Chain A
Amino acid sequence: MRTLVLQLARFGDIYQTWPTLRALRRKFPDGELHVLVRARFATALEGFPGLIVHQLPTAEILGPVYNCGDIDLAQQELADFFAPLSELRFGQIVNLSFSPVSSYMTDLLATPDTVVRGYTRHSDGHLQIPDDPSAYFYAQVGVGRANRYHVTELFAAVAKVELTAEDFCAKPTANPRSGVVVHLGASSSDKIYPADLWVRALRTLRLNSVQTITLIGSQDERAISETVHRQLDADINIINLVGKTTLPALMDVIAGAQVVIGSDSAPIHMAALTATPVLNLSSRMVNFWETGPLTPGSRIFFVPMLSDLNPDLIGLNTVALLRGEPALDSCIERTDWNGPYQAWGQSFNDFSWQLIQALYSSGPYPALETKEDSLALNRLFELAELALMQLDRFINSDTRATASKILRQVDSLLIEVGRLEPRIDPLVQWFETQRLRIPPGETAATLILTRSLFEELRVICSLYRTVGNVEQEIKKARGLCRECVPELREYNVAAVHSSFYALVSTLVELARSQHLQKIDWALVLGELNKAVENGDWLNAADILEWKLEPAFAEAVGEMII
């Protein structure tokens, strides 16, 4: 198998791709493993044996545009770069970049026989997300979102490989390790801890007998390192390597350290490959759940803004980490390379994360916590109902134009509900992404797929819906039962598809309402679900006709009395 991995991101993401590349090598031991990276970041693959690295020459390709606005020449440069790559006719392309440009590149390089994972393009040029992990990435990953899967895991999932502990052992570590390595800078200013606070943190380290402190960083970070170095007392043994090391040399430095201290940047991802524990300074500007340190024993100190972090506590907690003692403050800890982060003394938005797990991993749907959540989910339910009505009207050419207009309104309102109530936004994002994944095709087929998705959204929202008029809902359910049963008995599911899912959604609401306690809802809904999964429509009809309808009839009778 000849595999191409596209990784067009920066140093940090490239290092987070190493375990996936190692797993791909293990999965295809005799195959060729090619990687496409931007030329500027290609050094992050130095030290990885046996890779065939292709460097995207952005400067050369765009040079003619910058110099004289010459698009034709730029196009020629692009063609010259991609022609030999196309000739390789890759058996598999794994796009780990999640960007528009990478999706077009994947599409350009894929042959009809290529297995593609990650973003690519449909035959009409629209974005295609062929695999579930990439769809998850599209919907849920990013700063400020509720995702808690680490990008390293997600990269592996996109590539369809299982990671093992050995995939993280890229470098033999020094024995014994010594000293503390500090990365003062970061790739963007909002991730940088202030220089004066670094000085205090490093002084605390020295006061607690840490002998050697090595500063690391790129050429661009020389200013902050010199500022910090200048302000430290002469008796602190500082080795300033900022701007003086290559990336492979930096990996050696990190491999020899007892602890690395730094914010979310490439060195902490290099530490994951050398089993070096990290004391990570984290804030809202990043998402530690998805890009935090992975070495077991690593600790994350999270504050809204990095400048809120007490420098003395950085020093004292580093000493605690060195001595194998518990953290002195609330923190998030990595106890296992593939386990989740453990939050000690800090709480995070669990509702949204549980909602994500319910949507993607069959976890239980979380209980409502706020009135706003309830309102937002009710609005989504109503929007789903409205959309389903309009989809029915869409079939009729007389009402199509109006239905189409209302459906567009529904689309924008769905997004608005997610924006106004971010806690339920994972549901909106999931729905929007699944809609985006509907492939180009005939209108009728697209309508069926769109309808199914809205029905699914309605069922999910109905889990949270409070029944206003129980009698009315029971009558509705009874009517739907009567409508569906004869058709289900004939296996004519298509004829009552929409009524059946409306019934399921009503049943879910009634189950929550506590009014029909004679019905063992868990049992009945479980049996119904199983019948649907097995396509056993006779059994489904039996459940509706013999278990539910009589109970509804009795309940309505009782209410009238």
Chain B
Amino acid sequence: MNDTENKLNQALQRLQQCSQKIVQTRGYTMEVKSLKILEEMIREQMTNAHTRPATRTIR
């Protein structure tokens, strides 16, 4: 795993932890929505979603 992948993985883990904590305490808030967007944007980078047409992305 290279440095970039490491950073993305760490960021993803932190985002997941943050959103989980908020969901457990305050529910699905606006803050969770933006954390989830960020989380999914990172996930797309990691799965190279950009190289595949979106009609075939992870559902």
Contact = CB atoms under 8 A, between A and B. Distances in A.
Contacts, number: 94
Nearest to A138: B59
Contact of A82 (B7, B34, B43, B55): B34
Interface of chain B: mostly helix, strand, loop or mixed: helix
A66 B35 CA distance: 16
A82 B59 CA distance: 24
A71 B15 contact: yes
Interface in A1-31: 8-10, 12-13
A123 B59 CA distance: 19
Interface residues of A, number: 40
A10 B53 contact: yes
A69 B4 CA distance: 9
Contact of B54 (A79, A82, A97, A188): A97
Contact of A124 (B28, B40, B49): B28
A12 B32 CA distance: 32
Interface string A511-536: 00000000000000000000000000
B56 A101 contact: no
Which of A58, A78, A100, A105 has the most C-beta atoms of chain B within 10 angstroms of its own C-beta? A100
Interface string A40-77: 10000000000000000010011001100101001100
A187 interface: yes
Contact of A101 (B18, B44, B51, B59): B44
B56 A104 contact: no
A101 B41 contact: yes
Q: How large is the interface on B (under 10, 10 to 19, 20 to 34, 35 or more residues)?
A: 35 or more
Contacts of B51: 187-188
Contacts of A13: 53-55
Contact of A79 (B8, B34, B43, B50): B34
A9 B55 contact: yes
Nearest to A107: B33
Contacts of A142: 55-56
A108 interface: yes
A78 B55 contact: no
A107 B42 CA distance: 18
Given A99-B40, A125-B23, 4 more contacts: A99-B44, A99-B49, A124-B27, A187-B51
Interface of B: 4, 7-8, 10-11, 14-15, 18, 23, 27-28, 30, 32-38, 40-45, 49-59
Considering the complex of A and B, which 3 residue pairs feature the smallest CB-CB distances, nearest first?
A: A9-B54, A101-B40, A125-B28
